[in-house]
Amino acid sequence: MPDGKKRTFKNYDELEETYNELKNERTQLSAELGDLIKPVNEKKELMDSYLTDHMVNLTSAQLLNLQNGVESLSRLACSFEAALSACCMKSPAVFRLSFFL
C-alpha cells in the first residue's frame, strides 16, 4: 500500500477494487501536479524564448579577444601582486600607508 503497510484481501474483487481506487487516485494526483506545474513551464518557455532572441553568439575572433584580455589581466594581477609583495618586504609601513591612499 502507499503508506507502507501490508494489507490482506479477502478475495480478488476486493483486490481489484483497491487497485482501481489507487489507479484513479494516481490519475487525479497527476492531473493536479500538471495544473500546478503549468505556470512554471509557461514562464520557463518565455525565459527560453527571451534568451534565444536576445543572446548573441560570439564569433571565434571575439572569443579569442576575450580570452586574450583575460590572460593579460591575469598577468597584470600577477605582476601587481609581485610588486606589492616586494614593497611589503622592504617596508611594511609603506604598504600600510599606501593601502589607505
Q: Supply 68's cell numbers.
A: 586574450
How do residues 54-92 score in pLDDT, each as one tens digit? Answer: 877 778 888 889 899 988 888 888 777 777 676 665 555
The secondary structure of 79-100, three-state, reads: HHHHHHHHHHHHCHHHHHHHHH
CA 47 vs CA 16, 18, 19, 81: distances in Å: 46, 43, 41, 42
**Boundaries of every domain in the chain:** 1-55, 58-101
Q: Supply 31's cell numbers.
A: 492531473
pLDDT exceeds cutoff 70 at 98: no
Model pTM score: 0.45
